[in-house]
Structure 1
Amino acid sequence: MSRFRVNAHQPRYLRTATCLLAVMASLAPSMVHGQSADRMESASLQGLVRDSHDRPVAAAKVYLQTEIGTKTLTAVTDSEGLYHFAALRAGVYILRVEKAGYDAAIFGRCALGGKETKKIDLTLKPAKASAQSGSTGTPEFYDEPQFTVAGVTDTTQLGGHGSDTVVRTREGLARETASLKPLADVSPHTSAATAAEKSLREAAEHEPASFDANYRFGTQLVDEGKAREALPYLDRASQLRPGDYAASYALARAHADAGDYPAARTRLRALQTVQDKAGQEEAELHHLLGDVEEKLGNPLKAVQEYERAAEMSPSEPNLFDWGAELLMHRAMEPAIEVFTKGNHLFPHSVRMLVGLGVSWYARGSYEPAVQRLCEASDLNPDDPSPYLFLGKIQSVEKTQPDALVERLRRFVTLRPENATANYYYAVSLWKGRKGPEDGETLAQVQSLLEKAVHLDPRLGPGHLQLGILYSERRDFSEAISAYQQTIEVNPSLEEAHYRLAQAYRQTGQKLKAQEELRVYDQISKSKAADAERERHEIQQFVYTLRDRPSALQPQ
């Protein structure tokens, strides 16, 4: 068993770099409360937190973080200053300890073997007087943003460039970016995990007056996505120990995960009041409040909470969600600034680069958008997200950079049985063809499209693109068949109706052509109305830029 001892007295730049360094590991999928470790999750980390006089420090927050910052375990030291993380996967970790009135203590690059147990003791130094007197509690490594979100306004004019199709694509990509989740470390549902859940359930049912039994089982249920089932156990734990921060926060999180946002906000605000009176403030509290306020339709409050969370703890999730909130509400320059900062601090985060690329695209800057998305695909070639974003962008843009085509080629090479991969690469080749005489390319395009619709017969855009290919060859009977298949699987795809009308016209079927044009016009107007309604529902941030940061200049 290994033991280390670390002091928090480090140069500022070293503390900054260490705190924000990525670590190559996958954490256990939840806070470690009575989990049963399988063969892959049997390492543990424990230790003692003391002050400069060697006295144990109770109620200190201990964080264990992954390389790209997307998974963080949290523990609180007990009355003897002890902390413990169990059921960890083998890998390399960053350990950080924080408590009000002290400088943070950080131990970077702690390597754990598969079944290894390590002890790491940390010493907290008193915070400098100047830091204690500060009103914001801003970490030394936090850079003030060069923008201020001043309010919200209804969106009537987007002020963007490009066709309505391009604008709608930008809006859709912004929504999809906001829904990107960090790479999850989901362990298989083993018999050991099932036994652990059964054991915790039995303990909670046999000892209903036990805070520990109710809390442990409740938090496990929340981590497993069973928030509504967890509510009675966490409510009981909170009643048994009303002043316990962890129990109160877990109950608020369960309400939020269960979709009861008003109850979650009420509990979070009450908990925030208690923390403020105690001179304590938690980044996770602000972050969850941001989630809840956004769900309740209060984007200005949400972005303020996200910003404060990132200010207190500039982790990957905090920075990403702040940037995504700005992007969702069309604050493009601020979103670019935040995602650029996030990419600098977490260079291995795929979704941070995706967010940066989509922000550039939403701003109307095509080339830097493609560059960032290509970089995202290079970080983890097996992650489909960057390819899907690239594919959607190239579907509505006229030019096809070589880098984009190469990434889509790699996508279909890595996933030859993926219908979407075959379709997007076919479209990229189609747009890069030399003309109708480019028989070799057209044959490859047709082969890819036929494979795509064979793999997924309900892939409407695949059938549509086949129809377009047949139309260029003037094989209108095949084109009509392809367009009809498109409409069969996706009746709301207006372009299929328009192109089918043109094919009918070419074959002398004027009445059918008129009917398809009527349907096309009806769908187009309906989609335009839906898009306009969504634009009104998503309020736009009003913001001011202090100094135009270098991050806003395309690289």
Structure 2
Amino acid sequence: MFAPCTDFPCLPLATRHLPLRAIRLRPQGRAAACKALGWSAICLLSVLVAPATEDFCSPLQSPLAIAHQSQTQLLHQAQALMDHKDYPGAARIYERILRTDPNSFPALSNLGVANAQMGNYKTAAKMYDRALRLQPKSYPALLNLGLCYFKAGDFRSAVAPLKEAVQVQPDNFQARSLLAMSYYSQKEFSRASREFEKLIAVQPDNATLEYLLAESYLWSGQERQLLDFFSKVLERSPNSVTVHMLMGEADDGLDKTSDAIKEFEAAAAISPHTPNVHFGLGYLLWKDKQFDKAYVEFQQEVESDGSVAKSKAYLGDIEMKRNRDDQARVLLEQAVKLYPQIRIAHYDLGVLDARQRNFDEAVSQFQQAVTMDPKQADAHYRLAEVYRAQGKTQLAQEELKKVAEIHETERTKLLHEISETPPAAPEP
């Protein structure tokens, strides 16, 4: 029998723009991990094969028994390499096993783990898919596949295996948390709220879950649920960090940046170690062009192991604004390595590459920024500049046309909003 490891170290989560939040939840389990994304570390679960029980005293063994013994030994060798973080070495052994036994479930599962640890998420996903064809209800394989998509920023693909994992183990906190965050990260806030409600039933005092549930109610238009939620939170804690952060986000949405900053400052004063409180404050200060103060807040977020990837991206942006390109590049590349779906990091790396006339690299970065948000004109305009520098006039004109279309759409929207404004009441 194959014994799945069910002792989960930690839970990586990521969120959207508020700035885009990166939250860490900590279920019980064995200790911890490396840093990834601004999420905490991701420890992909390994499926271990139990030692085979061979009768070594018997004078003769069948060829099948000898082959099984050999595979077991290879699996143990590979696991020893995995334990020492020699993932390429372990992968080679698992591939060797699969050449003779293509349906070895532990080899497929652990080859997925090894590739995921090396950042080869597409290959890892293929291995998990093959493993799940053999054991469709394997909770570790389902969870690992969901984690693989999640860490790659493919939240839509993460949903299916995570839903299956929740069906297999409905009470498992980690699988449901990742499922909730996958919905949340796709802005499917109504579905996210239902999952967060179940999580809060297990951890009613978890401030991070409270905040995410309240946001999900807010952005899905569930006003009655939001009011009921606020009543419960305020009854329990009138000076709640969650309430201050949500009020700050609401003020930010109304372009009341100074009021939003005050709310986040109040939240940070109450609980300076709450995940994302320094990141949220740093973002608002950055937005208000108070870059020196913002830099301090982003550094504090990194030091508290909160939203590490996003904070490093904004730290890199501030360094770039200070014309410290080398320091900026280091921070931006670290951010992208931790979490590839950070638009500002790709955009700024494109700017740095264009400055150094590394035009092909600049095009790649700007194209990724466009993919993440095609309705922002800045990356299209930068692409036009790079194409022009490369002598690609037609491509430059196409990008400038997109810039003009975006500006026209924004102008039309503004005019519509103005026309919808009710007339002022006549003076008495």
Superposition TM-score, scaled by structure 1 size: 0.39
Of structures 1 and 2, the one scoring higher in RCO (CA 8 A, sep 6+) is: 1
More helix by share: 2
